[in-house]
Amino acid sequence: MQTGKKVYHTLVSQAKQHVPGFESAYAQFHQRVQLDQNSKSMITNYSRSIAMIALHFNRAPHLVSVDEINAYLYRMTSQEKQSLSYFKQAVYGLRHWLRLFGKDEMAIQMPSIKKEEKLPTVLSKQECKLLFKAPRTFKHSFMLAFAYSCGLRMNELRLLKISDIDLNRKQVHIRLSKGRKSRYVMLSNLIASKFQLYLDTVKPQVYLFEGQTPAHPMGERSIQYVINEALQKTDIKKQVSMHTLRHSFATHLLEDGVDVHSIQKLLGHSDMRTTMVYLHVAQIKPCLAHSPLDSLYGFK
């Protein structure tokens, strides 16, 4: 079975070989999306979708009419049952491609993509404790607890280096994360107290969480496997991923009284609206309005 990366390389290579003019056009596209500092996964997904369209029409996408593209997208999603994820990647990739080749009107006419209004899955504090206790190794328990304690994304956790941990200042340096932005998050006191034990026991060389190959980060699938294996040893019925721990981190901070602006900075959200969704999940006890003078002097 081919991986997504192999499929991407195969499709792009086929399009370069068989579709007239695609190779030079794709070189411009690839250069532009890299200059825009898009993530590798985003470039891979866009390129795969673009190559599929080029191979289907035997033309570069900017030489295909809007009606033809819309008919293709409709057929792929309704008849060939391509995923919603593919549909989004195809539309976003096409918009990038069309604007690059001066087809702004066509880009505007691409289908709109409605944002899903799904609330995040969140673990209770007790469920978090059960999950962190379940793994068979200290390394795996420490890793899950660490991810939750900082509210990290999958790649932020994977690519974290030992040198990014500042025990003196109790901070973790997250480097060039989503949107090519860096930030600092707090280091848990509990994690700090176990940190040297982790280093002495697991002996990572460069990355804090390494896979089978020393000095190389642990893979996404391996981390999800650790989560799934731990889940099987608990009574938790929810679907849990690394992002579930991140959602739980944000929600529990809200429930502990931390303000939304602080949580936004810790999560690295550029848009406050992304953070506000946790207000719909957090179980916050209502507080009756009162005069600040009363609370100032203990009359509340």
Active site residues per annotation: 153, 178, 243, 246, 269, 278
Q: Which of 179, 245, 198 is nearest to 38 (CA)?
A: 179
Cβ(217)–Cβ(209) below 8 Å: yes
Which residues does 154 contact at the CB level (< 8 Å), separation at least 6?
220, 223, 241, 242, 243
CA-CA-CA-CA torsion sign (131, 136, 138, 144): negative
Residue 43: count other Cβ atoms within 10 Å of its Cβ.
Answer: 18
> What span, in angstroms and rounded, lies between the C-alpha atoms of 144 and 210?
14
Angle subtended at Cα 107 by Cα 104 and Cα 110, rounded to the nearest 5 degrees:
155
185: tokens are 């998050």
